[in-house]
Structure 1
């Protein structure tokens, strides 16, 4: 049986770096955000459906995230409509990924909204990346187009970091150096592999 690790964490907590280190350790990673970009990018299969639901939100380069964001942020019913389009398609890609890697000792599902959308029922272990609030804030505000108001709104939509840590099986501290994060992930991978050998 493959051990399925659900990797999650609030915005700016270093989840992308953690995913990259799992890959370096030879663990297949399903990136939910990358799947969404694939579905919504140039030639993406969801473009016609999204354009019908949100006219003017797509173009030759795929979904215009700025325009679509303005259409759905602050409008819960529109956000739900978009989720009903995107989430089933991502779930299919995730199932395909798990089927392809069913012989591997472990896989990682990188799911930003793991707790928010109830995905923890689908996995064996929850790994949460976490860093101090001041570092999270600094990372996020360095992103293009980010503002304090937008950051506050995103945090409001996410399960608080303290709650994620409480519900985690594994906590990966991403507040230090990249080497520190990498070392923690190597230990996680080694422990899971050792348990499978016994």
Structure 2
């Protein structure tokens, strides 16, 4: 089974691109969705985070607004949170990949926003980076509810610069060209990734 990472900085169109791959039948593991599961009222992260930041835990699980506020007040808190959450996210991903292997899936995508920041590129067969012009990125992000210049700057400071991500990737999908162009690029990348797998399968059957 080929494991491919999909990544990109905030506002680059990664979620839209991920949905396009899903339409092609590729199983997607989403790191953000995994965190949401862990932050839910019955999530595995609730108990350890409650000991660390009790104010951020409520009836609906982790309150991300309070969590973000706490991190902005104390940047060192982020490392402590990551020490709790990252191993749990890793287990969630491992469970997903194990299930995909059992099903005989030829290609899976792991959607990881902080791939290069965590060294995750070392554990996949290829990397796809989603990108767009910086002015478009900025406009998209600041249009989000509750987003501020301060939050945007804080997020960017924790992310590897887009040009570095593109230089380290195997494929780049430019969402700044419009949805149709992005979908065409996704199709081309999919064909490039799945073709060797399909050829190998034919050789085994021969």
TM-score bracket for this pair, using the shorter chain length = over 0.9
Unaligned runs of 5+ residues in structure 2 are 200-206
Query: What residue number does 1:17 align with?
Result: 16
**Greater C-alpha radius of gyration:** 2
Residues 12/4 of structure 1: CA separation in 2 closer, same or farther (3 Å cut): same
Unaligned runs of 5+ residues in structure 1 are none
Report the structure, 1 or 2, having the larger helix content.
Answer: 2
Query: Does the 8 Å contact 1:10/1:161 carry over to 2?
Result: yes
Alpha-carbon displacement from aligned partner over 1:66-111 (angstroms, at most 9, x marks no partner): 1111112353421111001100000001001111111211100000
Instruction: Note the aligned Cα RMSD (angstroms).
Output: 1.1
Query: What residue number does 1:68 align with?
Result: 67
Tell me how far 1:139 sits from its aligned partner. Answer: 0.3
SS at match of 2:115: coil
Is 2:163 the partner of 1:166?
A: no
Query: Does the 8 Å contact 2:44/2:88 carry over to 1?
Result: no
Query: What residue number does 2:109 align with?
Result: 108
Q: Which runs of 4+ in 1 moved over 2 A?
A: 73-77
SS at match of 1:175: helix
Tell me how far 1:42 sits from its aligned partner. Answer: 2.6
TM-score (norm 2): 0.92
